[in-house]
Amino acid sequence: MSVPVIQKMDVYPVAGYDSMLLNLSGAHGPFFTRNVVIMHASNGEIGVSEVPGGEKITQVLEACRSLVVGTSIGDYKRVLQEIKHQYGSLDQGGRGNQTFDLRTTIHAQTAVETAFLDLLGKYLHEPVAALLGDGQQREDVPVLGYLFFIGDRQQTDLPYIGADHEHGEWGKVRREPALTPDQIVREAQAAYDRYGFTTFKLKGGVLNGEKEVQVMKALHQAFPKAKLDIDPNGAWSLNEAVQYASEMKGLLNYIEDPCGAENGFSGREILAEFQRRTHIPTATNMVDTDWRQMASSLILNAVSIPLADPHFWTMQGSVEVAKVCHAFGLNWGIHSNNHFDISLSMAANAAAAAPGHINAIDTHWIWQDGQALTKHPYEIHDGQIHVDSRNEGLGIEVNMDAITAAHQLYLEHNLGARDDAKAMQYLIPHWQYDPKKPALVR
């Protein structure tokens, strides 16, 4: 029997609804965007993937079509090399200094790689996790509850959605303002009741750092057994970070990008100094995002937890990072942004293949839960996602009606790449991004 060949590759820019989540980059708008790739193979199977939204990524994916169509699924690594060769220069500027990654080609590589892996897995009757690194390592992947401060959508005339009744208390809480310790504890409680998380991460970089420390203390009081992380996306100075960390000592599981580049020192140098001074496990998704940065991080001993998001490391790359972590005594984890359930399956499969001890992985899915693009999305129970070793490919089945509707939403609202300044300007007129100032401190 001949090996299947790709006959068609479709690219769908899609959108879904989001809450007014706050972070250092501003406030999430009413919609988040993603790019979904669907490959049709000659054996009648479909391979799928999801990566961040925005026209630049859509365009590179469109341009990659001629490299993909006609290729056998066994030849995908050559296609990936070709994409890197032809479009890699677009990523020369690095990830940028927003909270989210601004690169282009690496996301296109991931999209193509993942859809191929989905097809390969189906062809071989194996889960994608079994095709990565040394194969599937676990069926139960720990996931953390990603908590956010939430802005008041009523202060805008933007089309944010309100509470839904299908998701109980969580369906309500996730769309209402949350800025105080009590409100964040209520948010955590609703998320815990629905998903059973044993780890929570607070997205910081919003209020003055002292106030965020108070929120962490309130969370610890309400959930004394939970593991707690905080991520201000590098908003604090090194000295502030050391001070806040000492106030949170004993309640922190890890701290993520507490500080970043300052006074002529790189972000990696500053994190290395932070770790030397505090001895607190330190994670990043900002300064250890490719192999060159990884080499520098290792030499400097800058981070102990690289958050190797498969969307910007590729799926195989993310698991390679896990192997390095395992060998060097670091702890691997995954970073996330708003995403649909196709991305959830990508993160779950990568984490299922990561060797050694792993941290509970990030996912924004709880903010989107209910907006599935697949027929039976992976679910979070007891703070875990189950990746059955009997799965084939990513273990999902796309719902073409849902993808078409999400594409229509994208077109109707003329959407593109993420811009958190726009919604933020409703809360603070003329607001502008400052990587060193929490979003509500102006």
- Which is nearer to Mg ion, 266 or 389 (by Cβ)? 266
Number of chain positions touching Mg ion (CB under 5 A): 3
For residues 242 and 275, the answer to whether their CB atoms sit within 8 Å is no
CB burial readout 331-355, b (16+ within 10 A) else e: bbbbbbbbbbbbbbbbbbbbbbbbb
The amino acid at 35: N
- Which is nearer to Mg ion, 278 or 285 (by Cβ)? 285
Which of the listed partners (Mg ion, ligand GKR, none) does 23 bind, with a CB threshold of 5 to 8 Å by partner kind? Answer: ligand GKR
Q: How far is the CB of 348 from ligand GKR (least distance, A)?
A: 18
SS3 per residue for 36-86 = EEEEEECCCCEEEEEEECCHHHHHHHHHHHHHHCCCEHHHHHHHHHHHHHH
Catalytically annotated residue among 40, 107, 326, 335: 335
- Which is nearer to Mg ion, 123 or 365 (by Cβ)? 365
Tokens 């890699």 belong to which residue?
Answer: 88
Residue 122 has which token pair? 């189906």
The single-letter DSSP state of residue 98 is: S
* Ordered alpha helix ranges (H), 72-180: 76-87, 105-124, 128-131, 168-173
Contacts of 187 (CB under 8 A, 6+ apart): 147, 148, 150, 173, 174, 178
Determine the Cα–Cα distance for residues 370 and 347; give it in Å rounded to an integer.
18
Sites for Mg ion among residues 251-290 (CB under 5 A): 256, 285
Question: How distant is the alpha carbon of residue 313 from its chain centre?
Answer: 11
Determine the Cα–Cα distance for residues 262 and 260; give it in Å rounded to an integer.
6
- Which is nearer to Mg ion, 83 or 248 (by Cβ)? 248
The single-letter DSSP state of residue 375 is: S
- Which is nearer to ligand GKR, 76 or 149 (by Cβ)? 149
Q: How far is the CB of 254 from ligand GKR (least distance, A)?
A: 12
407 is catalytic: no
335 is catalytic: yes
Which of the listed partners (Mg ion, ligand GKR, none) does 104 bind, with a CB threshold of 5 to 8 Å by partner kind? Answer: none
- Which is nearer to Mg ion, 113 or 309 (by Cβ)? 309
Q: How far is the CB of 201 from ligand GKR (least distance, A)?
A: 8
Q: How far is the CB of 437 from Mg ion (least distance, A)?
A: 17
Which of the listed partners (ligand GKR, Mg ion, none) does 40 bind, with a CB threshold of 5 to 8 Å by partner kind? Answer: none
Q: How far is the CB of 79 from ligand GKR (least distance, A)?
A: 28
Q: How far is the CB of 270 from ligand GKR (least distance, A)?
A: 16
Q: Is 309 in the site for Mg ion (CB under 5 A)?
A: no
- Which is nearer to ligand GKR, 130 or 235 (by Cβ)? 235
Q: How far is the CB of 306 from Mg ion (least distance, A)?
A: 11
For Mg ion, the binding residue among 126, 187, 212, 231 (CB under 5 A) is 231
What are the residues binding ligand GKR (CB under 6 A)? Answer: 21, 23, 99-100, 203, 231, 233, 285, 335, 337
Catalytically annotated residue among 28, 203, 227, 364: 203
Determine the Cα–Cα distance for residues 278 and 312; give it in Å rounded to an integer.
29
Which of the listed partners (ligand GKR, Mg ion, none) does 156 bind, with a CB threshold of 5 to 8 Å by partner kind? Answer: none
Which of the listed partners (ligand GKR, Mg ion, none) does 314 bind, with a CB threshold of 5 to 8 Å by partner kind? Answer: none
- Which is nearer to Mg ion, 40 or 107 (by Cβ)? 107
Which of the listed partners (Mg ion, ligand GKR, none) does 153 bind, with a CB threshold of 5 to 8 Å by partner kind? Answer: none
Q: How far is the CB of 146 from ligand GKR (least distance, A)?
A: 7
Query: Could you tell me which of 176, 188, 173 has the C-alpha nearest to residue 221?
Result: 188
By the criterion CB under 5 A, which residues form the site for Mg ion? 231, 256, 285
Residues tagged active-site = 203, 335
